[in-house]
Amino acid sequence: MRSILPWHIPVVERLRSSAQSGSLPNALALTGAPGWGHESLLANAAFALLELESDQPPHEFAHPDFRWIAPEGAVIKVDQVRRINDFAVQTAQSAPRKVAAILDAHLLNANAANALLKTLEEPPPNTHLLLSTPYWGKLLPTIRSRCQRYHTASDAAAAQSWLEKQGISVSELEFAEFGYAPIGAQLGKSDSEQDLTDWLSKLPEDSLAAADTVLNGDVVEWLGRWYRRLILHMGGQSIPGCGIGQASLIRFADEIISARRQIESSNAANAKLLLQSLIVRWLQLQRRPAA
C-alpha cells in the first residue's frame, strides 16, 4: 500500500469523501508550504480518486484513465498540456473517473497555462484535474479562480515528531534552516549534506571545491538554507567568524534569492556559475581572498 504522510491524511480523506458523495470539483488545487511533500500528496490524491492501489511512482504508472505531468526542466510546456486536453475529452475506461495530475503547476509557461484554461473553463464530465503547487500565488489568477483549493496545514511539532520516528535527528537550528519543512530536512539529512555553518566557515580553504559539493545535491534547497541561515544570524544565532554588517547581509540575501529564482525558472540558468559568484561575493564581503 502506498504510504501517506500524516499531515496529508485530512486532505486525501476530504477528497475521497467528496468523490463518494458526487460533489468532487472538476478542477482542484493541492497546496501547502514548500518541503511538506506536495508531490507525495498529489500522487496519493490521484490514486484515491482513481480508487486504485499501486506502489509504483506515479510517472511510471500506466493506466488509461490517468495522466501525470511534471516539469521538463524548469517549466511545464504547452505540448504537455495539450496531451492533457486530449486525454480530458476521452471516456473513462476502467476507473470510476479520469484523473490528470499536474505537478508544480506554478511552472506552467504562459502558453501552457493558456492552453490549460480551455479545459478548466469547460471541463468534460467525469474528468478531474489535480494541480499541485507549494506556490499558490504564482498560478495565474484565472487558473486559481477555476480551482477549488485543498490546503495542507503546516505543523512544526507534528513534523518534528515524524522525523524522529524516521530515525532522523535534526537540531532546532538545522530545522529552522530547512524552513521547518520535514521533507527538506529528511532529504538533507539522509543525503548526509554538509553542515551549512561548517561549510561557510571552510569556504576560504577551497571555494570552488565547496561549490562542487553543493552542486552534487539540490542547489535550490541549499540556497534556501543559506538564505534562512542569514536571517537566523541577523536574529542572534550568529555564524561563527561572520563579520559582515547587517545592511550588506540584507543585500547579499537578495542576491541569493535572485540566483535561486533564476535556477528555478529557467533551463538556461548556469547553477554552477551563479553559486560560484555567490561564494566569491561572500568572501569579498568577509574581506578574504577567494580560493
pLDDT tens, position by position, 62-75: 999 999 999 998 89
Average pLDDT for 148-157: 91
Has residue 289 got a pLDDT over 90? no
User: Which residue in 48, 110, 53 sits closest to 77, CA to CA?
Assistant: 110
* Burial of 62 per CB tally in 10 Å (0-12, 13-18, 19+): exposed
**What would the mean pLDDT of 109-136 be, rounded to a whole number?**
94
Average pLDDT score over residue span 121-146 = 93
Those residues with Cβ within 8 angstroms of residue 156's Cβ, 6 or more apart along the chain or in another chain: 175, 180
Quote the CA–CA distance of 191 and 194 in Å, as a whole number. 9
What DSSP line would sit under 66-115, residue for residue? EEEE--BTTBB-HHHHHHHHHHHTSPP-SSSSEEEEEETGGGB-HHHHHH
Whether the per-residue pLDDT at 290 is higher than 50: the answer is: no
Least confident of 157-166, 168-177, 234-243, 262-271: 262-271
Q: Is 272 exposed, middle or buried (0-12, 13-18, 19+ CB in 10 A)?
A: middle
Residue 22: pLDDT band (50, 70, 90) is: very high
pLDDT band at 84 (very low <50, low <70, confident <90, very high): very high
pTM exceeding the 0.75 threshold for the entire prediction: yes
For residue 191, the model assigns a pLDDT of 57
Asked whether the CA dihedral 80, 84, 87, 89 is positive or negative, the reply is: negative
Q: Give residue limits of the domains in the chain.
A: 6-154, 193-285
CATH of region 6-154, choose from 3.40.640.10, 3.40.50.300, 3.10.129.10, 3.30.1360.100: 3.40.50.300
Confidence of residue 291 (pLDDT cuts 50, 70, 90): very low
The better pLDDT of the pair 55, 13 is held by 13
Is the pLDDT score of 99 beyond 90? yes
